[in-house]
Structure 1
Amino acid sequence: MALNSKNSSGGIIAVSTSHKKGTKKKNIEQGLLMENYGLSGDAHSSSETHRQISLLAIESIKKMQNLGLDVNPGDFAENITTNGIELKTLPIGTKLSAGVGILEVTQIGKECHNHCEIGRQVGDCIMPKEGIFCRVITGGKVKVGDEIKII
């Protein structure tokens, strides 16, 4: 049974990167969060944006799977796939510990201007509705199996 936003912790299901924006990401099992930059090796990482890293709950992905879509962690271009916390309900400014790194929520959802590869391939993208974006406050390693916690 999934936890809800009243619970303060959950787990990390996948850590994913891609070398090109707008494409599915590949689970790399572990990565390095870089302070005020993002996930090392990911095309979306930049000190010039408040959207340095993206998160999506496995519960959101399962909604799409229940519609018959063959989708998995990373397919919606999220960097970190979580379980246990209802991410879309977190207020802007919420701080999360992810592995040894600290993240700050900067945006809930996003406007999708053009259908990205994900939208074209699966027919819909849950990221604009249920994904969140963060900036990296404190860097450090993050890996599958780590706890993610509201702090």
Structure 2
Amino acid sequence: MRSERPVPAVFAVARDDRHRFTKPLRDEIVLVTGHGIEGDAHAGETVRRRSRFRGTRTEPNLRQVHLIQRELFDELAVEGHEVAPGELGENVTTTGIDLLVLPRGTRLRLGDSAEIELTGLRTPCVQLDRFQPGLMRRLIRRERGGTRLRAGVMAVVVEGGVIRPGDAVVVELPAEPHEALPRV
């Protein structure tokens, strides 16, 4: 019997106009080319958060869109943490795709016209433990060969558009050789 692979799709979308840990779910979000998500506190061409400044406010914002795969929530539930879409601050929750194994420069087409490019892995921070004690440890896996971060991926908007739950996700890998996603 053949097992059908799930079709990659958008499971949920979220945005917040303030810098809060959890983002409220929305019926849709609007991606703006080179800027991020319309109305989201992390949108902008340059770095938005003080913790990310490395000298100037002109550094490119590589964290315009935060994505997490819904399957992570199932894994966390087995480990004792109930987490729902938007609660870890992600803008887009996907299903049917392992975001963490995709190489840097992968492009994702979301819905009819939006396109983003993956820039790196989200680095887990202490706010995770403030949300649920012990959660940060669950999102950092010590494995043979190194540490695996599971807090999602970050991207920049290449082509704007509207994204809604249920929209298809199409993956386009960059030319080889592939480079692993760095921490951003």
Q: Highest Rg: 1 or 2?
A: 2
How far is 1:70 from its partner?
2.5
Residue 141 in structure 1 maps to residue 162 in structure 2: yes
In 2, are the aligned partners of 1:2 and 1:84 still within 8 Å (CA)? no
Tell me the equivalent position of 1:121. Answer: 131
Q: Which has the higher strand share?
A: 1
- Residue pairs, 1:94-109, within 5 angstroms: 94-99=106-111, 100-109=113-122
Give me the whole-angstrom Cα distance separating, in 1, the residues matched to 2:25 and 2:85: 7
- Residue pairs, 1:9-48, within 5 angstroms: 10-48=8-46
Relative contact order higher in (CA < 8 Å, ≥ 6 apart): 1
Tell me the equivalent position of 1:81. Answer: 93
Could you tell me the percent identity over the aligned residues? 28
How far is 1:69 from its partner?
2.1
Tell me the equivalent position of 1:52. Answer: 64
How far is 1:66 from its partner?
1.9
In 1, are the aligned partners of 2:105 and 2:118 still within 8 Å (CA)? yes
Give me the whole-angstrom Cα distance separating, in 1, the residues matched to 2:164 and 2:4: 20
In 2, are the aligned partners of 1:2 and 1:59 still within 8 Å (CA)? no
TM-score relative to the length of structure 2: 0.72
Which whole-Å deviations, capped at 9, do the CAs of 1:46-100 have from their partners, x for residues lacking one?
Answer: 1110110010000112111222322100011000000011000000000110112
Give me the whole-angstrom Cα distance separating, in 2, the residues matched to 1:86 and 1:58: 10
Which letter maps to 1:94? Answer: T
Tell me the equivalent position of 2:143. Answer: none
Give me the whole-angstrom Cα distance separating, in 2, the residues matched to 1:45 and 1:140: 14
Which letter maps to 1:137? Answer: V
In 2, are the aligned partners of 1:102 and 1:136 still within 8 Å (CA)? yes
Give me the whole-angstrom Cα distance separating, in 1, the residues matched to 2:162 and 2:121: 24
Partner-residue secondary structure (3-state), 1:44: coil
Give me the whole-angstrom Cα distance separating, in 2, the residues matched to 1:141 and 1:93: 21
Tell me the equivalent position of 2:153. Answer: 132
Please, which moves more after superposition, 103-112 or 139-148?
103-112
Q: Kindly tell me the number of residue pairs found equivalent between the two proteins.
A: 144
TM-score relative to the length of structure 1: 0.86
Give me the whole-angstrom Cα distance separating, in 2, the residues matched to 1:147 and 1:88: 18
Give me the whole-angstrom Cα distance separating, in 2, the residues matched to 1:2 and 1:120: 38
Tell me the equivalent position of 1:150. Answer: 171
Change (3 A) 1:132 1:2: farther
In 1, are the aligned partners of 2:106 and 2:118 still within 8 Å (CA)? yes
Partner-residue secondary structure (3-state), 1:120: helix
